[in-house]
Structure 1
Amino acid sequence: MAQRPPDPTHPAAGAVPAAALERHLRSWATEFLRALRAHREAGAGAAPEESAEAARALRRSARRLSAGLHTFQPLLDRDWAQALSPELAWVSGTLAVEHGCTARLERLLLALHRLSGAPVFPVQAATASGAPTAPAVPARSVAAGGSPAPAGPAPARPGADAPARSRTATTTTPATPPAVLTAPDRGHLTVGAAKAGALLDRQLTLARTRAHSTALQALRSSRFHAVADQVAVLASEVPLAPGAAHADLRPPAAAARDRLTDAVAALPLVTAGSPYNAAALIHGLSPDPAPHPQDVPWHQVRLLLRLHRYAREVLRSGADGPTRAAAPSAVDAALRTAGEALDRHRDASEAAAAAAQAARTPRIAPATAYALGVLHADQRHEVEAARYAFQRCWHKEDLGTS
């Protein structure tokens, strides 16, 4: 059996010098400045795809920098790190709102299409980014009364006679010819589901527009320019604490791992070990618009897992010297899988909250409210599925002691 490469976080591994942290921060600071330049050029008339990619790169580099300053703060100039880290988190969070609204709307519309009893439902375009593809379910209407959807193949749509040009979607009726819908086909939706989709479209599109305006204002503000100036300085010089040049990076990384382990230990993993957790839906009909009480500790674990993963990236970059970084280990792959499960948990939780918020709209039709209620329950079940997946991944790889 082939031996695993030595884990840089293991106590028997050699010390990781502070030079690895300096290289890591300078590299991501350079990436931040490069992404900022690309974002400004995209705003000058480039394609929307280029603008979105530049925003993602800006968020990604801001997250890495903020996490590095937070985790390894004892080795850095304290006042400088405490001031810059939350500002970078503000940049990342502000830019993430618009993307979140777009992904949430797509997720909800695809779920409505699936739950409405359409004989063919689309494969989620976000599968490549980690979003789960919805499983096949029996066709059932979400209109008021819950009458079954008519059986048999549906009328052919324009362009559906050439399925070889795209992926084939799973169907709930074997007799239905395979096809792919690139967007929810409102013609297959029931009245309640169609109106619910239109309501969600209006609300989330408005939220996305506001988030886009907020992001543009933030990128033009003096606050952001001050952050960019500090990152530009960081790209050339990392202010270390006195005597930190020869310090070991493993103790701060181990502290980040311990915080994650403690937070996971406080989760109800015994309950999450069941594929169906009915107790998680006990507050599903509560009129309180506050976030679901069970979601908050899971969101915190997601953030701590991200800090732990990023700290391991720093250690790997210094494990084999400045010329070659250590390859990701099996633990790193398992941590990424666990992080993807928690990302699905966050997405489903926020989608359920958006459905519940839409259902509180005054004077909506009963069929629309019913469709939104079914949608809310569906997303809460997706939350439980993500928790179950995380629980299995965490215990299978024994990540808490790695």
Structure 2
Amino acid sequence: MAQQHLDPTDPRPGHAGPDPTGDVLAGYLRTQATEFLRALRLHRETGSGANGSEASAEAARALRRSARRISASLHTFQSLLDTDWCEAMRPELAWVSGTLAMEHAYTARLERLLSALHRLSGSTALPGQPAGTAPAGRADTAAGTRAGSAAAGRAAGAAPAPQRTTTRDAGPRTSPAAAPERGLTVGAAKAGALLDRQLTLARTRAHSTALQALGSSRFHAVADRVAVLASEVPLAQGADSTDLRPLATAAQDRLADAVAALPLVTAGNPYNAAALVHGLSPDTVPHPQDAPWHQVRLLLRLHRYAREAVSGPKGNAVVDLRLLSAGQALNRHRDASEAAAAAAQAARTPRIAPATAYALGVLHADQRHEVEAARFAFQQCWQKEAVRTG
């Protein structure tokens, strides 16, 4: 849906003209339902092989986008729609969106982790490939992660990392400050190969699950309901004259309350050491510090989609740079958090070499650094705007 980008820093509500009512919501839902059906047709036309074509992947992303927007609108504006219909549709749309998202998530996670290993190890080749002359790695990140890497190795049953030594062999000497840790250099290739096996297998399974889902009777039932929605929106009685803005404001208030509950003082620190400890423990449950941030990310999405709905099908919503920047920071937070969990899970693989566990520990600590950096970016973005508009 094309958007008319007005003043991106204008804090005023994005709707101009008559008050937005249930009729505006109905137009927005019909537009998103049409986008869903168009993406579904494109997906069927492009087909999908073992890993799917690029056009097929783009069609799947378009399906997810429209499904998320329909589901979010049913959540925010449920009082203006048929209750039974909303309760039946929302979980089905969440199932479609979640199922289609997994393959892309595993692909992006593997790329993120291998790139981080490449950077941390100072290798010219990605882990798992023959290494050439190592360029200088990012010294600040590597130094910051070494403190947690020894603990990660112990958590995975690894021996302490070998000490850095200097050699008196003939030839040019390498400065100890510029050379990567030997334990990380030795273990990075095997750690990358282990992550590649685990995440590629998960991605392949996610691809098969998505194909099965798209061919299932459950999905066909969802598509049939969306097809009906493209022409007929089940508005509640009186919704056609009810103002949407109070419900959109309620979504904004829920977001503001969730942000206010975040530990933004802690997020103002460059590194939160407590965030490392839980991920190194044998406990495999999600990191407890991450949950409120993930919730804020979902509420931010609901708020953003509510603004779209209030603006109407033509998309006259004013772009809010704070929402864009905050959403990007929270997406990075989620990606780094899930990547850190994948590294920790790989480090728990039985009978892996100590050097491999050490490299995975350094990788885990690096991704937890990225989590903290994303929180800091969100804190700076959100509080700066609050001061400007306060």
Normalising by structure 1, we get a TM-score of 0.79
Structure 1 residue 333 corresponds to structure 2 residue 321: yes
- Note the C-alpha offset of 1:325: 4.0
- Note the C-alpha offset of 1:223: 0.9
Of 216, 219, 232, which aligns to 1:221?
216
Match of 1:29 in 2: 33
Q: Which amino acid aligns with 2:110?
A: L
In 1, distance between residues paired with 2:263 and 2:368?
Answer: 16
In 1, distance between residues paired with 2:274 and 2:299?
Answer: 25
Change (3 A) 1:121 1:147: farther
Q: Is the 8 A contact 1:349 1:380 kept in 2?
A: yes
Change (3 A) 1:9 1:73: farther
Q: Is the 8 A contact 2:326 2:382 kept in 1?
A: yes
Structure 1 residue 145 corresponds to structure 2 residue 162: yes
Match of 1:75 in 2: 80
Q: Is the 8 A contact 2:81 2:239 kept in 1?
A: yes
Change (3 A) 1:63 1:284: same
Q: Is the 8 A contact 1:22 1:238 kept in 2?
A: yes
Change (3 A) 1:62 1:228: same
- Note the C-alpha offset of 1:396: 1.1
In 1, distance between residues paired with 2:84 and 2:14?
Answer: 27
Q: Is the 8 A contact 1:104 1:347 kept in 2?
A: yes
Q: Which amino acid aligns with 1:84?
A: M
For structure 1, which segment, 105-114 or 261-270, has the greater mean C-alpha deviation from structure 2 after superposition?
Answer: 261-270
Of 115, 123, 127, which aligns to 1:118?
123
Of 107, 115, 132, which aligns to 1:102?
107
Match of 2:157 in 1: none
Match of 1:209 in 2: 204
Corresponding residue SS for 1:361? coil
Match of 1:247 in 2: 242
Change (3 A) 1:267 1:191: same
Sequence identity percentage = 72
- Note the C-alpha offset of 1:381: 0.5
For structure 1, which segment, 41-50 or 221-230, has the greater mean C-alpha deviation from structure 2 after superposition?
Answer: 41-50
Unaligned runs of 5+ in 2: 1-6, 128-136, 150-159, 179-183
Of 273, 279, 289, which aligns to 1:284?
279
Match of 1:256 in 2: 251
In 2, distance between residues paired with 1:199 and 1:360?
Answer: 11
Structure 1 residue 389 corresponds to structure 2 residue 377: yes
Q: Is the 8 A contact 2:14 2:318 kept in 1?
A: no
Match of 2:155 in 1: none
Structure 1 residue 92 corresponds to structure 2 residue 94: no
RMSD: 3.2
Change (3 A) 1:199 1:15: same
Change (3 A) 1:290 1:399: farther
For structure 1, which segment, 371-380 or 277-286, has the greater mean C-alpha deviation from structure 2 after superposition?
Answer: 277-286
For structure 1, which segment, 383-392 or 35-44, has the greater mean C-alpha deviation from structure 2 after superposition?
Answer: 35-44
Q: Which amino acid aligns with 1:357?
A: Q
Match of 1:128 in 2: none
In 1, distance between residues paired with 2:101 and 2:301?
Answer: 16
Please list, as runs of the form range in 1=range in 2, the aligned pairs for 1:3-402 lying within 5 A after superposition: 7-8=12-13, 15-43=19-47, 48-118=53-123, 136-137=138-139, 144-145=161-162, 147=164, 190-317=185-312, 325-329=315-319, 332-398=320-386
- Note the C-alpha offset of 1:119: 6.1
Corresponding residue SS for 1:293? coil
Corresponding residue SS for 1:36? helix
Unaligned runs of 5+ in 1: 123-134, 155-171, 174-188
Q: Is the 8 A contact 1:20 1:314 kept in 2?
A: yes
Q: Is the 8 A contact 1:9 1:254 kept in 2?
A: no
Corresponding residue SS for 1:238? coil
Q: Is the 8 A contact 2:340 2:368 kept in 1?
A: yes
- Note the C-alpha offset of 1:118: 2.7
In 1, distance between residues paired with 2:321 and 2:90?
Answer: 27
In 2, distance between residues paired with 1:17 and 1:253?
Answer: 11
Q: Is the 8 A contact 2:48 2:56 kept in 1?
A: no
In 2, distance between residues paired with 1:57 and 1:149?
Answer: 55
Q: Is the 8 A contact 1:144 1:192 kept in 2?
A: no
Q: What's the CA shift string for 1:103-151, capped at 9, x where partnerless?
A: 00000000000000236989xxxxxxxxxxxx94367899942648999
Higher relative contact order (Cα pairs below 8 Å, separated by 6+ residues): 2
Change (3 A) 1:9 1:398: farther
Q: Is the 8 A contact 1:355 1:375 kept in 2?
A: yes
Q: Is the 8 A contact 1:105 1:204 kept in 2?
A: yes
- Note the C-alpha offset of 1:35: 0.6
Normalising by structure 2, we get a TM-score of 0.82
Match of 1:178 in 2: none
Q: Is the 8 A contact 1:9 1:253 kept in 2?
A: no
- Which of the two has greater helix per residue? 2
Q: Is the 8 A contact 1:9 1:250 kept in 2?
A: no
In 1, distance between residues paired with 2:388 and 2:302?
Answer: 14
In 2, distance between residues paired with 1:293 and 1:64?
Answer: 28
Change (3 A) 1:30 1:117: same
- Note the C-alpha offset of 1:258: 1.1
